[in-house]
A and B are shown apart, each in its own frame.
Chain A
Amino acid sequence: QVQLVESGGGVVQPGRSLRLSCAASGFTFNAYGMHWVRQAPGKGLEWVAVIWFDGSDKYYVDSVKGRFTISRDNSKKTLYLQMNSLRVEDTAVYYCARESLKGAKDFDYWGRGALVTVSS
């Protein structure tokens, strides 16, 4: 069965860095685009970043451009999110999500999320 398991969350001071990982299993990882989606406490969902199946292209929401970097290691079936210059407003649960192959640009599987708290 498809599984996505995030790790690396925690409490970090403003301006510091953190790297999230998402370990994938149960599907052909290198065939799928992968995303990070976040949810601030008590708020809605916000798409953060996407990486193409082969890592050839990456796109970001404006609020994280220049600070966050999405990457993947297909040999390890792992997705990453390097978060630098963290701000209080980056506090959220970060989900990794698989983009389906149906062509609808939808997210058909999600991890359980990793909580990132940015606080002094």
Chain B
Amino acid sequence: EIVLTQSPGTLSLSPGERATLSCRASQNIDSDYLNWYQQKPGQAPRLLIYGASSRATGIPDRFSGSGSGTDFTLTISRLEPEDFAVYYCQQYDDSLTWTFGQGTKVEIK
């Protein structure tokens, strides 16, 4: 079973700052199957990045994804007030299971 570990657990930043979120897999994964979501309180998750680096429809270009193998990163270049939320990475593997990381909360400093 592949485990995704996200760090840090909480990121305290100010609007306008850069956010760097990490997602580390317990073994190599196919980057085509590494995705990122944003979730705000009381709302369903929203797809941000698919295939490690492709932005989903309507996602601003301040969001970017990168990485391969076991290490993946979600970067928010300049935080807007609406970006303060919880972010999850998610992967799929050949055992026909989907798994999520435990999440990183980006909070206002």
Interface residues of A (CB under 8 A from B): 35, 37, 44-47, 50, 59, 61, 95, 100, 102-108, 110-113
Contacts and interface: CB of A to CB of B under 8 A. Distances in A.
A44 B101 contact: yes
A108 B97 contact: no
Give chain B's interface residue range (CB within 8 Å of chain A). Answer: 20 to 34
Interface in B13-39: 32-33, 35, 37, 39
B90 interface: yes
Given A104-B50, A105-B98, A112 B44 contact: yes
B44 A50 contact: no
16 contacts: A44-B88, A44-B100, A45-B90, A47-B97, A47-B98, A47-B99, A50-B96, A100-B50, A103-B32, A104-B50, A104-B51, A105-B35, A106-B50, A106-B51, A108-B47, A110-B46
Main SS of the interface on chain B?
Answer: strand
B3 interface: no
B103 A44 contact: yes
B78 to A, nearest CB: 25
Given A44-B102, A105-B33, A106-B90, A61 B50 contact: no
Contacts of A107: 35, 37, 45, 47, 90
Contacts of B51: 102-104, 106
Contacts of B56: 106, 108
Contacts of B44: 95, 110-113
The 8 tightest CB contacts between A and B, nearest first, are A105-B92, A110-B44, A104-B50, A47-B98, A106-B35, A106-B50, A45-B100, A104-B51
Nearest to B56: A108
A22 to B, nearest CB: 12
A79 to B, nearest CB: 15
Given A45-B100, A61-B97, A110 B45 contact: yes
Nearest to A96: B44
Among A35, A104, A111, A112, max chain B CB count under 10 A is at A104
Most buried by A among B37, B45, B56, B103: B45
